[in-house]
Amino acid sequence: MIQEEKRWYALYVSSRQEKKVQDGLLSKGIEAYTPIIKTLRQWADRKKMVELPLLKGYVFVKHSPIEKEKVFTVNGIVNYVTFERKPAVVRENEIQLLKDITSFGYETSIGNFDNLTKGMDVKIIQGNFKGLSGTILRKDKNEFFVVALESIQQHVIIKLPAAVLEKV
């Protein structure tokens, strides 16, 4: 019997359930990933570093087609992110990019930027993201580099110094 290839998929999950869903999937032996970032939150009486999901409402899961039913035994999963009524397959390099973004500690923010006007196309020439291309959203003392994660139709903004960018 030939075992089918495992692929990454994006799941919609209930509000604020990303970590619980990931833990539930991992406890069932299913590979799962939730990109987590640390951010400083301020309250009236204190400041604290907190861990938040980079993509709210999403958990990534890697499984073969025969493991699909096992995935939905975990509480908190709403559905697959779909494209043309089929679960959207997330490329391995996109998962690796998310892991790189969260592990290298770049200042990040999230958004769905369907209404953006196009800026300068750039290529990163130094550092951990060397060779990647994107578009500058705004120019100040630092440049903002947009990475489109096409299979889930999201964008991630990474704050990078102008010195590591080159016009394409």
What are the domain boundaries of the chain? Answer: 7-90, 108-167
d(CA 45, CA 20): 29
pLDDT tens by residue, the chain, 168 residues: 556 799 999 999 999 999 999 999 999 999 999 999 887 778 889 888 888 898 899 999 999 998 999 999 999 999 999 988 999 999 998 999 889 888 876 556 565 554 444 577 777 777 777 777 777 777 665 556 666 666 677 777 777 777 677 787
Q: Which position has the token pair 């980079």?
A: 54
For residue 93, give Cα distances in angstroms to 22, 72, 146, 149, 151: 20, 25, 16, 10, 11
pLDDT at 167: 80
d(CA 25, CA 90): 17
Q: The domain 108-167 is classified under which CATH number: 3.40.630.30, 2.30.30.30, 2.60.40.1180, 3.40.50.2300? A: 2.30.30.30
Number of neighbouring beta carbons within 10 Å of residue 104: 12
Q: Note the Cα 166 to chain centre separation in Å.
A: 24
Where do the H-state alpha helices sit in the chain? 18-27, 68-71, 92-104
pLDDT at 10: 96
Q: What fold does the segment set 7-90 form as a domain? A: Alpha-Beta Plaits (3.30.70)
**pTM of the predicted protein model:** 0.75
